[in-house]
Amino acid sequence: MFEAADRVWASVHQPDGPLVEGFRKERSFDKFFSSIDRVADRRFELTLRDGVSPNGLAEGRRLTIVARNQGTVLSFYQMEQPTVENITVHASGGAVFSAAVCSDPVFRGTTIVPPPDSDRQIASDADGIRIVNCLSSTTVENCHHERLLDDSIVVQHTFTSVSELLDDRTVAVENVHPFVVSSEDTLEALSQSGVRLGELPPIADYERRFSSPGSRDKPATITFAEPISGTLSVGDYIGNPETGSQNFTVRNNELRDHRGILVRVVARHGEITNNVLDGASRNPVELECDNDRHFAPKGYVDDVTVAENTIRRAGMVYFSGDEPAGIRVHLLTRRDVPDDGRPNRNIRVRDNEIETTAGVGINIENAEDVAVSGNRISNVNQLGYGPYGVSIANSQAITLTDNTVAGPSTRLQAFGQRTDSREITSSKNTFRVNGETRTVSLQQWLPVVFRFNRAVQPEPNSRYLTVRCYRVRLRAGDTTVQEYDIGADESGLRLKRGYFSPETADSGTWRWFGGGDAVTRLTLPADVIEQSDHLEMELMPVERDIRGTVSVDGADGETVRFASEQLQWYTFDLPDR
């Protein structure tokens, strides 16, 4: 079984079977092995792969060795109104249900749970219901899913990417399943950095990759009726709104205790309403534009309502994912690609009950026109990811109305926070700490960017590195305003891009800064920066004569030369803003 599987790893469970709870992630979620050796009948010795953290392992806990495959229990492709009702699944080595390029798929009353009176610990190794590039409408309702090792309900619009500009009207595109087109479709484009590029000219012709069933084909090249050379670049994404999984409804579902996301949406014109979403390693509700290099490119969210859901234990099941929140709206670009765009728009988040989160209650990133109203948020920041009810970053036109944030002073610092955002309106909100009403405020964070003159690959195909950073501190004259341990516990600042996981040796604990574009981005509290006149970094460059330039909130500061390959402190004067 292990030798034949597409992917082998292990999940960590409590002695009675449920996934472990309340752990911050260290490196990967799961346990991967360099070897699995039989030592006796039904006994194996497992050796963790180099770089895999033993976090969460303890005597008496259980491991589920997952032999995951790419297959799906029940899959539909290019069908009219496939309907799945009242089906129960107890185990799957891959995904359970999927519909791709189908019209009006319906999933109603599905149950995905481990069998009763069994010591089986999981119900499915992959997604529960996956709906990709469907037409007309989508309905998922009255379903009950527990203990999945991936996402529970996915409604997704998959794009392709431009691999070559063949002439001023023709592009070659990647072979991405299930991206399909017909000559009557009108396509749209999205930049790698998340900027909407709008509708493309009508399709004049396209070259089919191969003959396929149905009225739409997988294209190898697309020729447009008008020039597109000024609009599209190699690497940009192309989507087909006709197959956008639009007009979706996800309602009255009960989803519990997943290693993944409970409802993940990359689509438009839809609603997520009246669901019980209890227990996820990451976000119970995730609205995303996710174009990370690990998966096919996706579209964005537009005209979506998230309302009247009960959301509990976000990021508290299994190992908590990055920036866990009860509801998260975000953009994820490929490494070294800036996240300049605000592709997710016209979103309404109202009347949700959000309780007990590893990080913030609602996290809004790279979005426009988001109305957050009537939500009740309590007991946030249980794992120290952010002492706020609401977080807003790289966004604009956000309204906060009639929301309540409550919790103890040990976990809650302010009603919310904002970073690099504008047009934020707040009214009639309530903030209570230890049962006492406090002033509603949004703590402001400022972007701090380090641009290095080059990044170095120490070995072929290795990471691009700039400096090995141990500590950062802000100073006013000779007085330290704030100091941050970049390797051990960087709480109090936020690393955003251009960094790698912590490493430890005799000299201490650090993170490498780097990436192909030689840029590291982080954010710091505005009040800390306003009290400071210079920034100091304890670092060691990957090689001599690396140079770094600091900018704060868009204002450029000085450039410093790291002349020695030894560990030492360097000082940057902060720019006037």
DSSP type of residue 20: P
The residues spanned by each domain of the chain are: 7-67, 160-243, 259-290+302-440, 446-573
The predicted model gives 227-236 an average pLDDT of 93
How wide is the angle at C-alpha 456 spanned by C-alphas 466 and 234, nearest 5°? 105
The residue to which tokens 């195909």 are assigned: 461
The predicted model gives 431-457 an average pLDDT of 94
Burial class (CB in 10 A: 0-12, 13-18, 19+), 100: buried
- The pLDDT confidence band at residue 565, using thresholds 50, 70 and 90, is confident
CA distance 185 to 335: 31
Average pLDDT score over the chain: 93
Secondary structure class of 55 (helix, strand, coil)? coil
The residue to which tokens 């934020």 are assigned: 424
| Domain at 446-573, CATH from 2.40.160, 2.60.40, 2.60.60, 2.40.50 | 2.60.60
- 71-96: per-residue pLDDT in tens? 899 999 999 999 999 999 999 988 99
pLDDT of residue 369: 98
The residue to which tokens 């509801």 are assigned: 327
CA distance 519 to 451: 5
The predicted model gives 143-169 an average pLDDT of 96
The predicted model gives 134-156 an average pLDDT of 97
pLDDT at 577 over 70: no
The predicted model gives 505-509 an average pLDDT of 80
Weakest mean pLDDT among 467-471, 487-491, 530-534: 487-491
- The pLDDT confidence band at residue 489, using thresholds 50, 70 and 90, is low
Q: How many Cβ atoms are within 10 Å of 502's Cβ, its own excluded? A: 17
For residue 317, the cross-strand partners are 21
pLDDT of residue 29: 82
CA distance 306 to 213: 36
CA distance 73 to 84: 12
CA-based radius of gyration for the chain? 24
pLDDT of residue 107: 98
pLDDT at 442 over 80: yes
Torsion of CA 133, 136, 139, 145, to 10 degrees: -10
Long-range contacts (CB closer than 8 Å, 24 or more residues apart) made by 160-163: 160/237, 160/238, 160/239, 160/296, 160/297, 161/235, 161/236, 161/237, 161/238, 161/297, 162/232, 162/233, 162/234, 162/235, 162/236, 162/237, 162/238, 163/234
pLDDT of residue 563: 86
Secondary structure class of 528 (helix, strand, coil)? helix
Secondary structure class of 3 (helix, strand, coil)? coil
- The pLDDT confidence band at residue 68, using thresholds 50, 70 and 90, is confident
CA distance 266 to 398: 20
pLDDT of residue 474: 95
- 209-224: per-residue pLDDT in tens? 988 777 899 999 999 9
Handedness of CA 25, 26, 29, 30 (dihedral sign): negative
Q: Which two tokens stand for residue 391?
A: 């977080």
Q: Which two tokens stand for residue 440?
A: 């509603």
Handedness of CA 284, 250, 132, 105 (dihedral sign): positive
DSSP β-ladder status, 325-332 and 388-393: unpaired
pLDDT of residue 402: 98
- Ranked by mean pLDDT, which of 7-21, 162-176, 488-502, 547-561 comes out on top? 162-176
pLDDT of residue 72: 93
Secondary structure class of 529 (helix, strand, coil)? helix
pLDDT at 257 over 90: yes
CA distances to 112, 334, 451, 486 from 493, in Å: 40, 22, 18, 9
Weakest mean pLDDT among 34-48, 166-180, 465-479: 34-48
pLDDT of residue 490: 62
pLDDT of residue 99: 98
pLDDT at 298 over 90: yes
Residue type, 258: H
- The pLDDT confidence band at residue 25, using thresholds 50, 70 and 90, is confident
CA distance 88 to 92: 11
pLDDT higher for 558 or 111? 111
Handedness of CA 499, 505, 506, 508 (dihedral sign): positive
- 179-208: per-residue pLDDT in tens? 999 999 999 999 999 999 999 999 999 999
Q: Which two tokens stand for residue 289?
A: 């534009």
pLDDT of residue 312: 98
pLDDT at 443 over 80: yes
The predicted model gives 552-558 an average pLDDT of 89
The residue to which tokens 């496939």 are assigned: 82
pLDDT of residue 299: 95
Main-chain phi, psi angles of 383, to 5 degrees: -115, 15
CA distance 36 to 33: 7
Q: Are 73 and 112 in contact, with CB atoms under 8 Å apart? A: no
pLDDT of residue 491: 66
pLDDT higher for 28 or 116? 116
Main-chain phi, psi angles of 376, to 5 degrees: -115, 115
Q: Which of these, 325, 239, 336, lies nearest to 293 by C-alpha position?
A: 336
pLDDT at 122 over 70: yes
- Percent of the chain residues topping a pLDDT of 90: 76
Maximum C-alpha span of the chain: 72
The predicted model gives 421-443 an average pLDDT of 96
pLDDT of residue 453: 95
Q: Which of these, 572, 494, 559, lies nearest to 532 by C-alpha position?
A: 572
Q: Are 556 and 496 in contact, with CB atoms under 8 Å apart? A: no
DSSP type of residue 243: G
